[in-house]
Homo-oligomer: A and B are copies of this chain.
Amino acid sequence: MLTSPHATAGEGARATRDRLLDSAERLFAQHGLAATSVREITAEAGANLAAVNYHFGGKHQLYVESFRRRLGVLREQRIATITETLRRTRGARALETLLRAFAESFLDPLLVAEGGRCLMRMIQREMLDPELPEGMFEGELVGPVRASLAEAVLAIEPDLPADHVRRAVESFIAQLLHLARTLDRAGAARSETAAHIEHIVRFSAAGFRACAHPPGRRARTRRDRG
């Protein structure tokens, strides 16, 4: 009702469809798929109850669509951060710089307090109760980003065993996800968050370097305070 009742056909349709996606994203993030009713979504979007089935064919497909809309850009954004940082970073502290840049990029959607907060919650939910088509989440976001980050770390620290790096990337991301959960519940002060990121970077950089040959002695890559 904010715009003219119908506008031109195509334009009006797009508006309703997008308003549904926006409301759905917010509500699905807040309460989950099962606990969000179509009536809630359409009411918040200022649309008719039947609009969801008309535009998307059902509640579940609206859920998938509201997810798909974000997955691609999030993936490209994160990978771009990685390759960009890798391109212009050299020196003994390159690993820390890379991890810091990725961490900030990773948590950025959460800090802007805008619609970004939603996506992070949707991701956490999807990790617990997968509702997306098989492999969509892993294939379109998690897998590529993980691979890109591991590759970048290996470019910086070529002496580390690839297997160790892959696991360390998991450890690093696990901490970021955990911090994201914490921030999501109690939106901490910006400075406090920066300190937390700095901790994760230092903690993880040491962890990345903590292994040269898996079984026996510790890493001694001479890059350790060169």
Contact = CB atoms under 8 A, between A and B. Distances in A.
What copy number does this chain have within its complex? Answer: 2
Tell me the dominant secondary structure on chain A's binding face.
Answer: helix
Nearest to A207: B203
Interface in A176-202: 177-179, 181, 196, 199-200, 202
A182 to B, nearest CB: 8
A181 B128 CA distance: 8
A225 interface: yes
Nearest to A177: B178
A15 interface: no
B200 A210 contact: no
Nearest to A204: B207
Nearest to A218: B225
Give the interface size bracket for A toward B.
35 or more
Interface string A147-176: 000000000000000001001101101110
A59 interface: no
Contacts of A125: 128
A164 B128 contact: no
A114 interface: no
Contacts of A199: 164, 167-168, 171
Given A207-B204, A207-B207, A211-B202, A167 B196 contact: yes
A118 to B, nearest CB: 13
A175 B181 contact: no
A210 B205 CA distance: 9
A158 to B, nearest CB: 19
A206 interface: yes
Contacts of A179: 174
9 contacts: A32-B32, A168-B203, A170-B178, A171-B175, A171-B204, A174-B174, A178-B178, A202-B207, A202-B211
